Structure 1
Amino acid sequence: MSASAQAGERIPRRGEVGMDQRLIGRLEASGYVMSGNRHRRADTARVRKDSQGITAEEKRLMLLQNEEVRKKKESQIIADFREMLSRNK
């Protein structure tokens, strides 16, 4: 499923797994309603979900970046407290 998302293809839905993209297109053109196209709302949700494809590597990088930001904030707060304590002595 992730391979089709990375290739920019439509992610197959229930009942479409194992079908070629061209076959799905031909079936839809001939009038069959595929499970991913039943309702306009479902179709927009599918498009939104397809565009949200965050890979595990991207997620890991985001977590590392958030951890660094958190550590910088904590060290700044600690430095401010130390400065405040040294001024009050």
Structure 2
Amino acid sequence: MCNEYNYEILSLHISPDHVHLFVSAHPKNSPSEIARKIKSITAREMWQQHESLLENYFWGGGFWEESYYIGTAGEVSSQTIEQYIERTEHV
């Protein structure tokens, strides 16, 4: 999916109740568009691959929460953000 949309995953951390994803993308892609695409495509893939497991847990709901947080790197280095994501295992 990221190859198709020319997104580059720089860092990823998966926790039981949230995901930290550091993505690089062309500025023409708005952060909200990137989040929407990633969430919708990954949810569809999870349902297709694990429907029998997920139907009992998400009856009447969705795979992802509707909310999300987006921050931009700005003047912070990519290395600083990656280190932050790696340290979130305790969160």
Task: Give the TM-score taking structure 2 as reference length.
Answer: 0.25
**TM-score of the two chains, using structure 1 as the length reference:** 0.25
Larger Cα-atom Rg: 1
Q: Which has the higher strand share?
A: 2
More helix by share: 1
